[in-house]
Chains A and B, each alone.
Chain A
Amino acid sequence: MIADAAAKLGIDVPVYCYHEALGPLGACRMCLVQVEKMPKLATACTTAVSEGMVVHTRGPAVDKGRKGVLEFLLINHPLDCPVCDKGGECFLQDYTFQYGPPAGRFEEPKIQKVKDGPINEFILVDQERCVLCQRCVRFMGEYVGEPQLLLEGRGVETVVTTVDHEPATSQFSGNVIDLCPVGALLSVPYHHKARPWNIEREESVCTLCPVGCTTLATGRDGHIVRIEGRPVPDRSWGWLCDRGRFGFDFAVNPSRLITSYLEGREEAAARTTRQVGQWLRDAVSQHGGNSVAFVAGGLHSTEEAYQLNRFAREVVGTERLAVSRDVPGYLPRGLNGTFADIDDADAVVLIGTDPYESVPVVHLRLRDRARALPSLKLMGVAPRSLSRETLRVDTLVTHVGQEAAVLAAALSDAARGHAVLAELVSNGLGDLSGIDGEALAELGSTLVNSEHLTVLWDGLEADVEPVLVALQSVRGDKPTRVLPTWGPSNWRGFERAGFDARIESLTGILEDARDGKLQMLVLWGADLLREYPDQELVRQAYARVPVLVAESLFPPAGHESFKAILPQAGPGEVYGTYVNMEARLQVAMPSVQPPGQARPTKTYVTAWARAMEKPFVLQEDWDPYDDNSGDLVPEESVPREVRPIAPASSAPDGYELITGVLVIENGIPSDFLKPRVPQYPGRISPSDADRLGIRNQAVIKLSREGREMTAAVAVDPAMTPGRIYMPLGLADAPVNALGTGAVNVTVIEEVHSA
């Protein structure tokens, strides 16, 4: 299109309705240009360029056309720019200034419409300011596949509104604020908060899930007041999910730590820091460096992990370093793909993970691909169906713990006789009865025969790793790329900084702590009771280790066990790079100061080095980037050995507890998002609910061998029968207290919906 060609050449063509991701529409007529040999002005967004075409993007005819369009757009516009949040960031202002008429000729009263009406909890619509470009409507309907906005009425009465005038529920709704070229769609948290000259807008990244979406953070008077999407040319459209866009208020949440706690009492952070330094010194001098272990987690940057790593190794002299993990899987760097592998794929296989819930914006990327390539093979292997209205996934539904075996069976079938497979299944495949043979064959052929295979994996089953390694070796030169969907969002960055991200390191530390072999355990943003897959082990470790210290944004679960808790400086408060699920390094510039006594890692570790009287200089210039791999973490070759997987155990008779990441429930509190957090986060299928006598929602008890947990569940028609789903990491219903797999279910209380 002419509009794209002009943009590429840096020539300005004004557009409202056109957006490359949405495709041409030709609704607003703002983009008029003059094409030689065409009788009338043409819309640049709908006219394809052709050989020899001569286009004038300015000139008397073009300017007159644009002037006319703007005069029409402004006929009923309320001209209330002084009280509009978009004032100064608005294309209606900009284009009117550039091309518009100085005054309109229309003197009749303006039509009045709804101002500041609700789209949902986060978005307001000012129908008077709307230029009816339809970006918002088309984004929700065509791009997201959740058609919750519409144009209602005709002619000058047309307005943007929601279906049945009910709040829009899509988790991608906030993007329409960025898309709206004028001040018609506004952010509720930012409403009447600032003018462009009051704010600092810094390039940042969202750290709330492993996608690491690129953002702009708006700071005013020391607070972040807005997060916007930041498009990166040729890489990302700049979409965000509502979790990332509106969840920024965690930084000022009342539960945020801004002072420290020493032996349970509130204390000035400086004193607590000194005391921890003393403990470190005692532990090292009496028991040696390896009596102290460090676990990195949470929302720390790569630099902070690096500083902690150097302090631990050089000053404390310990090798006991691990990353906090909530799932046991690990992905070798060599297999790690990028989002471009989604755009190039002819087959995508989802293992365990539902991208809509675990890595929301990747769901949009997958939809984008599925729309561009209707023949895209999209398959899933998981203990529940992964298919949704917005993305059809052929799911091979397994029982808990069978994913690796099912994948291996499919692979062995399709690539019979491959040496690496003999090794992989040398312990047998186990009991896979009930798995449909035809579906298995289709999965096998997709795995083996696709040209460009991209896999998304939730890491819940560690044995999938050797299967992926074997798969890569079977496929040889054909790309086999994997995107890990688990957290902590910067785990690859911690690895880059020198921490071992495999769960075995963490398990080793916890076992040693439980066995009394550790003197001191320092948790850096890690909240292990909530995260580590076996809560009991963490409990025992906490109870036994003499000195338990945490540095964190929020008080960790079981905070009574901690001798000291220090406040952490969060993302957006210090400069840092974060590595996302593509193994891509991205910079987040600080836009505000850390609140209260929260300090960056560097402050703590330098203070402790001084307390321990060891020389320790942190180079300012450590740079996680690499000359050869650019903004990706350096490539590594894929391991060759394949460890045999454990055979699948038989399907249990009764219910199975299953889990997965739900980004909205990932433990980082937000008042803005509260209305969106489900009150009954668990899910049960209608047929199981029937059997248990549950109509809508209920509180149920799940138990196995003396352990139990209560869960608030709601009936979900999309849920696979026989499974009870609970999101991972809920404070009041911790799946890690029980573990996934067979459970007994009893109904405690049925709750009738209002």
Chain B
Amino acid sequence: MKPEWKEWAQEAKAEFPKANSALLPLLHRIQRAEGWLAPETLSDVAELLNLPVQYVESVASFYSLYFKQPVGKKVVHVCVGLSCMLAGSDELMHRLEEKLGVSQGQTTPDGAYTLLEAECLAACDLAPVAQVNLRYKGPVPPEKADELLKEEVSS
């Protein structure tokens, strides 16, 4: 556990009446600093907020916004929800895999990209939807795979 996490937990808690409301902001802040959320980090956060580890793991695994593995510089999420799938997101994923030379769930050896799938990102009107470092992009038809990879976004 990093010493500053304690302060961050205090600050997050101060903003909400209940400890579990502080969970999401605290996870975000730690992820910004660490790049990802290791299993030990989740246990530490549970301890900091006095929540069951079970609860924290459940919440962290629910959101694709939280990385449970180390990620590359650019994280590309492709929505594989029903609407996006019908609009061709599977083909988009295919092309991205080919271009990057990794399968979904993996990071390129140079650490530049991580390719992940996401369940419905709640933007079906923009299907097929992708995210680059959590910024929404859409519609991204399969032919625009190259452009997507070139997107300049802050990490």
Contact = CB atoms under 8 A, between A and B. Distances in A.
Q: Do A and B associate with each other?
A: yes
Question: What is the predominant secondary structure among interface residues of chain A facing chain B?
Answer: mixed
Interface string B37-58: 0010001000000001111011
18 contacts: A141-B52, A141-B54, A147-B52, A147-B53, A150-B57, A152-B58, A152-B61, A153-B61, A154-B61, A154-B62, A154-B63, A154-B64, A155-B119, A155-B120, A163-B52, A163-B57, A164-B39, A164-B53
Contacts of B81: 155
A717 to B, nearest CB: 15
A152 B81 CA distance: 18
A450 interface: no
Interface of A: 141, 147-157, 163-164
A150 B120 contact: no
A157 B81 CA distance: 11
Given A154-B63, A164-B57, 14 more contacts: A141-B52, A141-B55, A147-B55, A150-B54, A152-B57, A154-B61, A154-B64, A155-B81, A155-B119, A157-B119, A163-B52, A163-B57, A164-B43, A164-B53
Contacts of B63: 154
B58 A156 contact: no
A151 B58 contact: yes
Nearest to B54: A147
Interface string B50-91: 001111011001111000000000000000010000000000
A159 B87 CA distance: 27
Contacts, number: 37
A630 B125 CA distance: 67
A153 B68 CA distance: 11
Contacts of B43: 164
A163 B53 contact: yes
Contacts of B54: 141, 147-150, 163
A22 to B, nearest CB: 16
Contacts of A151: 58
B24 to A, nearest CB: 14
B78 to A, nearest CB: 14
A419 B53 CA distance: 54
Interface in B83-138: 119-120
Those 5 A-B pairs whose CB atoms lie nearest each other, nearest first: A155-B119, A147-B54, A147-B52, A152-B61, A150-B58
Contacts of B39: 164
B108 to A, nearest CB: 23
A152 B54 CA distance: 9
B57 A153 contact: no
A69 to B, nearest CB: 17
Nearest to A155: B119
Nearest to A148: B54
Contact of A156 (B61, B64, B119): B119
Contacts of B55: 141, 147, 150
A154 B119 contact: yes
A153 B62 contact: yes
B83 to A, nearest CB: 13
Contacts of B57: 150, 152, 163-164
A390 B151 CA distance: 51
A156 B82 CA distance: 11
A159 to B, nearest CB: 9
A148 B55 CA distance: 10
Interface in B10-53: 39, 43, 52-53
B124 to A, nearest CB: 13
Contacts of A157: 119
B65 to A, nearest CB: 11
Contacts of A147: 52-55
